[in-house]
Amino acid sequence: MHIRIKKWIKNQELKSSSFADKIGVNRATISHVLSGRNKPSIDFLDKMIRTFPDLNANWIVSGEGFMYKSEGVKELVKSKNIKKIVVFYDDNSFEEIEK
């Protein structure tokens, strides 16, 4: 997991010290996590995920999926073609728009 955290920090173009400040943890904690000496605590991960809402928690913990939540959505949209869109109005009517 520490390798994915390093990758996230690099991708955000942050230094480990500014990352520590941003998520509100001690700089020494970051150093220990990034070196692999200590595993990140639940509190650490919670702060990281809350600070960076587009970070995919599943990716950071397990390595599965995409780094960013929005990447998964983009891939899903790319892999499918839109056939029709249905718009619902507040008067309970709707309209179908075919592509």
pLDDT tens for the chain, 99 residues long, are 999 999 999 999 999 999 999 999 999 999 999 999 999 999 999 999 999 999 999 999 999 988 988 776 555 556 667 778 888 889 989 888 876
How far is Cα 33 from Cα 60, in angstroms, rounded to an integer? 13
In this prediction the pTM is: 0.69
Q: Does CATH number 3.40.640.10 belong to domain 2-86?
A: no
Sketch the domain layout of the chain as residue ranges. Answer: 2-86
Residue 84 backbone dihedrals phi, psi, to 5 degrees: -155, 160
Q: Which residues pair with 86 in a beta bridge?
A: 96
